[in-house]
Structures are given as structure tokens and as C-alpha cells.
């Protein structure tokens, strides 16, 4: 039996095409679990990972959990019907501990295998909802996941491109339409978390790398 009552059927015959990673931004994993399982709050996720790697399966993967909210990726909305949501116990400012990251890697590997998803299907909440969400935040180690084929990272590093092309590149990679400053903030959270200032050639170069390797057919499946 699912632990959370907050779920429904995936709409329109959709199946998981994405995995969305979140942080709980609450004082404890227990508090987050209580919130995600409380019907009054109407929020949930498929999985919740505690600091020590303990995994709670809250909603079946075949069901539509209520974790993503408004946003889009690859030109598609209703991300809840298209994704599996993973909540990580974290207050939004602290590092993600090693046991939690190891457990996440195991969980992601299983999800990608079960649903035949590529690494680029793994995104952050801030990617699909730039300007509205910031999780999993600047402390999350995306590059670690990419090294084991569980996410993507721009390669080669250090290349540059015209800064004015940045917005077009990131939207071709998957980000929704938004002002350049909003896209830049979301992109840097994931790929250049300590960078400051206006969009520059390095931002555009990283975005171009991702676009060239993972350009989206916005009329076909995400993966």
C-alpha cells in the first residue's frame, strides 16, 4: 500500500519520461514525510530519501504524484504525469551527505533501467520551474551523478560561445521560455553554482555543449 494518499492516475496515458529531484526544505525527514502523506496539503513524491540513505517509497511509480507543480521541460507541461519525483531531506543550504547520495545513485539507476530513460531525463525542480523553484540547489552534486551516467554535464569544459545565444541554447536543451536572467539563475544553480554577474561566454559555451549533445525533438518523447 502507498504511504501517501496524495496521488492519482497519470493523465492521457502518459508514462514517466523524467525524474525530478527536489529538496524538502524542512527541519527533518520525519516532518517532510508527515507533510507528503497529509491529505490536507495535497503534495507528495514517489520517494523520500533521509540523510542516512533510508528510503521511503510514498507513491507507486505508475501513479501520478503531486510534486512538480507548474512548469515545463522540453516544451511539455503536466510534469507530474510525465515524471517520477524524488525528495531529498535537506534544508536547502547544507551539503548532501554521502549515504544519501549513494542511496540516490542506487535509486536513480533502478528508475532509469525500469523506464528505459537516458541520463538527460534526470532534472532538478529548478530546471523545469525557473524563477519559481531553486531545488535541489547549489550544494547538489550534479557532476557526480553525470560521472556514473545518472545525469548529464557539459563537455568539454572551458569552451565559450556568444553570450547573446545563451537563452536559445538552454531552451533547445530543455529549459522553458523565460527571461534570460531567470534562465541564467536556474542554469547556474546546476552547472555554475558559484558564478556571479551577467550571462557570459562561458555560460553560453556550456549551454551550447548541452544543446549540441542533447538537443530536443519537441514533437517526440523527452528521452
> Where in the sequence numbering do the catalytic residues fall?
87
The DSSP bridge pattern shows strands 83-88 and 7-8 to be unpaired
| 3 state DSSP class of 75 | coil
Separation between Cα atoms, residue 125 and residue 160, nearest integer Å: 27
Q: Which of these, 75, 81, 83, 74, lies nearest to 21 by C-alpha position?
A: 83
**Which 3-state string (H, E, C) describes the chain?**
CCCCCCEECCHHHCCCCEEEEEECCCCCHHHHHHHHCCCCCCCCCCEEECCCCCEEECCCCCCEECCCCCCCECCECCHHHHEEEEEECCCCCCCCCHHHHHHHHHHHHHHHHHHCCCHHHEEEHHHHCCCCCCCCCCCCCHHHHHHCCCCCCCCCCCCCCCHHHHHHHHHHHCCCCCCHHHHHHHHHHHHCCCCCCCCCHHHHHHHHHHHHHHCCCCCCCCC
Amino acid at each position: 500500500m502507498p504511504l501517501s494518499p496524495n496521488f492519482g492516475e497519470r493523465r492521457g496515458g502518459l508514462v514517466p519520461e523524467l525524474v525530478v529531484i527536489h529538496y524538502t526544505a524542512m527541519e527533518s525527514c520525519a516532518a517532510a514525510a508527515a507533510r507528503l502523506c497529509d491529505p490536507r496539503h495535497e503534495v507528495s513524491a514517489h520517494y523520500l530519501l533521509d540523510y542516512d540513505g533510508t528510503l521511503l517509497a510514498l507513491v507507486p511509480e505508475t501513479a501520478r504524484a503531486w510534486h512538480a507543480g507548474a512548469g515545463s521541460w522540453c516544451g511539455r507541461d503536466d510534469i507530474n504525469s510525465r515524471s517520477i519525483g524524488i525528495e531529498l531531506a535537506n534544508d536547502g543550504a547544507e551539503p548532501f551527505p554521502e549515504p544519501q547520495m549513494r542511496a540516490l545513485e542506487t535509486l536513480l539507476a533502478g528508475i532509469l533501467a525500469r523506464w528505459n530513460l537516458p541520463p538527460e531525463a534526470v532534472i532538478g525542480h529548478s530546471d523545469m520551474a525557473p524563477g519559481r523553484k531553486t531545488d535541489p540547489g547549489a550544494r547538489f552534486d550534479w557532476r557526480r551523478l553525470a560521472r556514473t551516467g545518472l545525469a548529464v554535464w557539459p563537455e568539454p569544459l572551458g569552451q565559450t560561445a556568444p553570450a547573446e545565444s545563451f537563452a536559445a541554447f538552454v531552451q533547445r536543451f530543455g529549459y522553458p521560455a523565460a527571461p534570460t536572467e531567470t534562465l541564467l539563475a536556474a542554469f547556474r544553480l546546476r552547472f555554475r553554482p558559484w558564478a556571479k554577474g551577467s550571462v557570459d561566454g562561458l555560460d553560453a559555451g556550456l549551454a551550447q555543449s548541452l544543446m549540441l549533445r542533447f538537443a530536443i525533438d519537441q514533437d517526440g518523447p523527452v528521452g
